[in-house]
Amino acid sequence: MTELALATSIPPSMRRPAPGGLDHGPAWRAACAASWPAPGWRVLTVNPAEEIASLTDLPGGIDAVVAQPGVAEAFGRPGTWVSDALAQALATCAPVVGLVNADIRFDLDPRRRAALVERARTRIVACNRMDIAHPGQHEGPYYRYGYDVLLMPRDLAAQIDMRGFALGVPWWDYWILLDALMQGLPVEVVQCAGIRHLAHPAAWQRPAWLAALRGMMAHIGPRRAALAALGMGRIAEATADLLAAVAASPDEGYPLDDLAETAGTRFGIEVVRLAERHAWTLELD
């Protein structure tokens, strides 16, 4: 019986350069993929059609699914719509569904897996990753400002409006939480040392970051009252109003992109603070 359907998008290749010229990327990609499947856990990698043929090295327990088109046109790079990935997970009829970024390795024993799934049967669980500098490292800092694993009951997943967001492009993780909170759905943040990420230089592309931010603010605009009801505070609300105005006039020119980048970063911090009102730690000992 499938208790969790987990969707991702495994890239055809991965680079993680290390000192001395060694590239940990291929081995890390393989280790991450191998760590996801488990009894009761079904894993789907949703990829553009042109990538599917190159995914010949998938471990057992991972099924490849062809993604819906359009991400490359929207963000300048091939990818997978989050709504598509979630829909594929929902199609399995698993009671709990989720998303995981492709560079996350699970070092979770059955008891910790069961604890996460049990918690996600009734609420959206957003997991902070632990950053490590080397694949053999076991301890590192938690990264608060992003959620690389999100688990949720299928009925709540069906209520989240993920139109316009893509895996590998910023803001989709924040929007899942914000959309849920504006609907009054339960959200929790968990830190777990068994959700590990091999640290690497930031690879985000500013045009895609800004495009996704504009998309998020377009979602928020008609629901401004619901955002205000969350009680994020005057700074968050003023920043949201500013970003909504910028999103509504994307062609106004310099220096609005610079302004949006600064304001967007601050708004993201406020979303994290909001989500962390309900936070806990899953211990490994």
Give percent above pLDDT 70 in the chain. Answer: 98
For 8, the enclosing helix (H) or strand (E) is strand 4-8
Tens digits of residue pLDDT in 23-82: 999 999 999 999 999 999 999 999 999 999 999 889 999 999 999 999 999 999 899 999
| The architecture CATH gives domain 4-203+278-282 | Alpha-Beta Complex (3.90)
For the segment 6-10, the average pLDDT, to the nearest whole number, is 98
Residues 119 and 188: beta-carbon distance below 8 Å: yes
For residue 151, what are the contacts with CB-CB under 8 A and spacing of at least 6? 4, 96, 97, 98, 116, 117, 119, 120, 124, 125, 127
Q: Which is it for strands 41-47 and 104-106: parallel, antiparallel or unpaired?
A: unpaired
Residues 156 and 201: beta-carbon distance below 8 Å: no
> CA angle, corner 203, sides to 263 and 210, nearest 5?
30
Q: pLDDT band at residue 154, thresholds of 50, 70 and 90?
A: very high
Q: Is the pLDDT of residue 285 over 80?
A: no
In angstroms, the CA 146 to CA 185 distance is 19
Radius of gyration of the chain (CA): 18
Q: Is the pLDDT of residue 143 over 80?
A: yes
For the segment 237-266, the average pLDDT, to the nearest whole number, is 87
Closest-CA residue to 48 (of 24, 74, 81, 5): 81
In angstroms, the CA 168 to CA 80 distance is 8
Q: What is the value of pTM for the model shown?
A: 0.95
pLDDT of residue 1: 82
For the segment 229-242, the average pLDDT, to the nearest whole number, is 94
